[in-house]
Chains A and B, each alone.
Chain A
Amino acid sequence: MNPDVLLGLTQSTGLMVLLTTGIGVLIGLIVGMIPGLTISTGIIVVLPVTFVLPADISIALLLGLYVGGMTGGSFSAVLLNIPGTPSASATAMDGYPMAVRGEAGRALGIAITASFIGGMVSFLFLLFVAPLLANVALEFRTEDMFAVVFFGLTIICSFAAKSLIKGLLSAAIGLAIVTIGQDPVMGTQRFTFGQVNLMAGVHFLTAMIGLFAIPQLVSNLTDGGGAARRIQTRLTSVFPKLADLKTMRLPVLIGSLTGAFLGILPGAGGPIAAFISYDYARKASKQPETFGKGAVEGVAAPESANNAVTGGALIPMMTLGIPGDPVTAILIGALIVHGLAPGPLMFLERADFAYGLIFSFLWANIFNFIIALAALRVLVKVLATPRALLMPTVAVLCVIGSYALRNNFFDVYVMLFFGFIGLTMRWLDMPVVPLLLALVLGSQLEENLRVALTSSRGDISIFFTSPISLGFLTLSLLSILWSLRTARRNRRVTTRPNKETQS
């Protein structure tokens, strides 16, 4: 066996690493199940802790939270008909009807088991595909890397389904923010206005805390408290029966493969995978008419898919340094804070750490299964936690998180500034994820673009003569066209009923 694999396995089984993985899963389950808190918020809450912990322990904590959060979202989807996370939206369609007819325990057991299988399938994807892809990526030159990063930025289109122009504008604002500080090639100061604190640029974790947490805090005040009635039902046996396990086989297979594959594609996150696999499972079912009325397959397929996405999304993050979704964007930030740059070199220079990360993901899935099943009855009581205590705690943790990054109040003010930007963008119905992705990828984009153009003496044909670069640029174009087509189709669907109503 590859010695790095063994070393990674050994690292991931350290007592502290396992313990923090378990803690991360527990926090993830709690955060995921509380409507109004997302996995991103959960990560923001634990970020200050990760700055002071060793890298392997920090990443284990964050991975546990990521995996746990995906499963936790299904708890409130089943019990409250409010998905704790967007990825659990499809689960509510059949999970809630099951709870209504007194089968909440059964639905949650199926969801947890399907999540586990989905997670394990994506772990295998991660273990076998990531090193191969990293090997290929080692051959990439700067023009190829520019094309890869550009392709990563086309994720923006999938987050801008309503208005592509607003999504692109959001990204352009992010790219403008990235240019603050030293330029990545020559180290020239740009847009710092003599401010020493701006010389290192705006740290994207600080910006991310403000962009996500402050608008969420405000929306929790303005959405009327999200008053939801919990289904009054006793959670009977949560372990799936043999008959249910048999029924779930096909939908779980569909969900796991769909989720793991879609996870690899930048931008196609948990919600998309969950809905696509739900649709496939319905088409493959012998009783499609039961979907939406509490079908076991309707819970199993999306739950396996959204957990399978997690491992898939880690593949481009680890091998190319490109985030598959907002959570992996934050993970990249956490790795950078520890001096570890995700990308093809990670498997060359820090292969032990890379494999350790992969195995931590395995333990996170195993712990998630055990903790979720064993502590389900206790965990669901968290749904009764008063927001009056929860949200102020989140607010204070945001302040601590941005301060702890560099022990500097300037970052706290930057966080608040981005909070106001986030609120303004929300008011304008402008997506913030493109801005976040631009903050993550902008510097790489500029560096690779300029180095490639410098090596070609300003000749832009360099991007079209390299087959890898040309391939990724073609993929980027297809991705944009696909998004435009989908947006146009969605628009047609939404306008048609309006016209019919008017006539």
Chain B
Amino acid sequence: MRRRNIIAAVALIVFSLIYGALTTQLPVRSLPNTPGPPFFPWVNTAILLALSIGLLVQGLRGTNSGDNDSQPPAAATAPQRRLAAWALGAFVVYLIALPGLGFLLATTPFFAALMVLFGERRWLWVVIGSVATTTILYILFRHGFSVFLPRGILPDLIDGIFT
């Protein structure tokens, strides 16, 4: 955890400095002796920087920061980490594909992929589960609750039934 604290502290110091640099570019529009738009970001920059340095000092000294002696969150095994990485990768690809492909075409394979990652090995269940759940959610939200989920490149098959 000590190493992680140092990494976090350094990253946050960099973030604070960038945040502070961006704050200098904010327009100063206020009456004399009254706080303008950059006031709160300046206060926050100072707090962020002070706390980040505090975390760095604690990390470097190895003093008791309250969690140096505690265990980091339960470590996952390598296969579990791989599963998580695949799931996150699938999430990113899904969100990139969603606006273009549309909800039904993008969500079905994403849903199926997650089902497999969560341990479902019966392919028929995967196909039925992903197609059925995606279709139900699409109909429920697009036609039940008027959330305009993107139709994408799919022909007007389902929507035609409901309009």
Contact = CB atoms under 8 A, between A and B. Distances in A.
Contacts of A191: 22, 41
A416 to B, nearest CB: 6
Contacts of A49: 145
Provide the main secondary structure of the chain A interface. Answer: helix
A222 B34 contact: no
Given A223-B74, A407-B147, A429-B4, A169 B40 contact: no
B48 A173 contact: yes
A172 B66 contact: no
B24 interface: no
A52 B69 contact: no
A415 to B, nearest CB: 9
Given A186-B36, A222-B81, A427-B4, A388 B119 contact: yes
A435 to B, nearest CB: 13
A221 B55 contact: no
Contacts of B36: 186, 188
B133 A389 contact: yes
A220 interface: yes
A453 interface: yes
Given A190-B37, A428-B4, A457-B34, A162 B67 contact: yes
Given A183-B37, A190-B37, A454-B31, A386 B87 contact: no
Given A52-B147, A221-B80, A395-B114, A169 B98 contact: no
B10 interface: no
Task: Kindly state the interface size class of chain A when it binds its partner.
Answer: 35 or more
Contacts of A168: 47, 51
Contacts of A395: 91, 110-111, 114
Contacts of A388: 114-116, 118-120, 129
Interface string A394-416: 01110110011001010011001
B8 A217 contact: no
A387 interface: yes
Contacts of B129: 388-389
Interface stretch (A65-73, A93-101, A117-125, A490-498): A490-498
Interface of B: 1, 4-5, 7-8, 12, 15, 19, 22, 26-27, 29-31, 33-37, 39-41, 44, 47-48, 51-52, 54-55, 58, 64-67, 69-70, 72-74, 76, 80-81, 83-84, 87-88, 91-92, 94-95, 98-99, 107, 110-111, 114-120, 129-130, 133-134, 137, 141, 145-149
